[in-house]
Amino acid sequence: MRVIDAQDTGTIDKHVRATAEELAAVAADIDRGRVDPDGNYQLLRDSGLLRLLVPWESGGEGLSFLAYTKALETLATGDCATALGFNMHNVAIGSLCETAKSPLPEAAERFRTWVFKEVVENGRMFASATSETGAGAKLGHLQATYRAHGDAYVLNGTKSFVSLAGIADYYVVAAREEGSSEAREVSHFVVSRLDDGVAFSDPWDSAALRGTQTARMSLKDVRIPRARLFLGVEGLSLFKLMREPHWMVSGYMGAYLGIAESILRLVVRLLKGNEHRRASPVVQAQVGRLAVELKAARAMVYSAARLVDEEKGSLEANTAVHAAKYCIGELAPRLALDAVRICGSGSLRTSEPLERLLREAVFCSVMPAKPDECLEYVGKATLGFNMFDARNFNW
């Protein structure tokens, strides 16, 4: 197993770049269905990258949200699909990692210790299982349920678009209390892929991002011990999301930047083989615009991530991540279309990655939070609405 030196930023950056290069070598084959994505995730396990967010004191690397965003960007330049799958592991454990310096009640402390041990010592991979058909990822509209039963909880429901289906070891499942009239009271539970009653469909036949291994997850009378209630507290999920929405809203941002960067790099490479177009002032101006727009989006994303590190949970940080998600989510697909216009139809040959990047970029604007949801949040915050009031938080 290759091991990265904890808290050695230079070593981590070098290691992430090397991993991205290995991912790039098989990205096209996975996209075309010639190779299963399992090998990429085994690479992430073996590399030690699963512990990037786990606190230093618990054996991880303790990366900040900004450092993680940059690492995810680098991985996505190798393969966006694997980077997005990797992000789901970190979405599942990220908020827990951020509690490192906070004392917790005894049950929550035991839960946190268990999760960190599973990741660091046992190489376990986590994933998020929130979205449902018709509800998306909005916690206030979920239909999956749980009920207490003796020393356990029993879960029932169906989750759609679960990444790392059958690959991750654990899934953080969102569910509301069975029979509760208050649908907004949602809790999260850690479900093992080996638990009785857990099943996955065949992978989603998507136009792109095959490497995320996304499928439907069904839970039928899944019984889990009470110790696997997230942080040991029921009804905490919506409150925590409302206070600190950055993982759900903008954990993807680095991956979107990676797509956009890959598109710009490809434009530059393709134009190097066409000196006539490369010498055109019109083309130069078009490429200049792409570069400026990407630099602006990157500055916005990095600024928002830095605010999360410095003022996590503040209105300024929460508004910034919504604004940044909107910006990069809209930019990536536009860059892909512009790249086709600049480089011509020849750039869409299947031997070139642009047609794959074009398909992948489309998904940037449909993953949560969607563009209209981001703008709604920013608009409400700008107009002075209390965004810590659940009635104003549309989740």
Quick: pLDDT tens for 235-252.
888 888 889 999 999 899
Helix (H) or strand (E) holding 36: none
**CA–CA dist 383, 386 (Å, integer):** 9
Taking alpha carbons only, the member of 228, 241, 218 closest to residue 140 is 241
What pLDDT shows up at residue 1? 31
**339: its two tokens:** 């790249």
The identity of residue 385, as a single letter, is F
Taking alpha carbons only, the member of 22, 132, 137, 130 closest to residue 82 is 22
- How far is residue 373 from each of residues 174, 320, 324, 394, measured CA to CA in Å? 20, 13, 12, 8
For residue 136, the 8-state DSSP code is: B
What pLDDT shows up at residue 100? 86
What's phi and psi for 378, nearest 5 deg?
-60, -40
What pLDDT shows up at residue 184? 64
**CA–CA dist 66, 79 (Å, integer):** 20
Taking alpha carbons only, the member of 171, 159, 84, 73 closest to residue 125 is 171
**CA–CA dist 48, 39 (Å, integer):** 15
Calculate the CA 364 to chain-centre distance.
11
| Residue ranges of the chain with per-residue pLDDT less than 50 | 1-7
**10 Å Cβ neighbour count for 201?**
15
What pLDDT shows up at residue 9? 64
Strands (E), the chain: 126-129, 145-149, 152-162, 170-177, 186-192, 198-200, 215-225
Judged by DSSP in three states, 53 sits in coil
Taking alpha carbons only, the member of 375, 292, 273 closest to residue 330 is 375
Put residue 392 in one of left, alpha, beta given phi > 0 → left and psi -120 to 50 → alpha. Answer: alpha
Q: Which long-range contacts (CB under 8 A, 24 or more apart) does 114-120 make?
A: 114/227, 115/190, 116/54, 116/55, 116/58, 116/59, 116/60, 117/58, 118/169, 118/170, 119/50, 119/51, 119/54, 119/60, 119/93, 120/51, 120/54, 120/58, 120/59, 120/60
- How far is residue 183 from each of residues 123, 128, 328, measured CA to CA in Å? 35, 20, 32
**CA–CA dist 320, 172 (Å, integer):** 26
Beta-strand pair 170-177/186-192: antiparallel
CB 228 within 8 A of CB 92: no
Q: Residues near 141 by Cβ (< 8 Å), separated by ≥ 6?
A: 132, 134, 135, 183
**CA–CA dist 100, 58 (Å, integer):** 9
**CA–CA dist 248, 235 (Å, integer):** 17
CB 55 within 8 A of CB 42: no
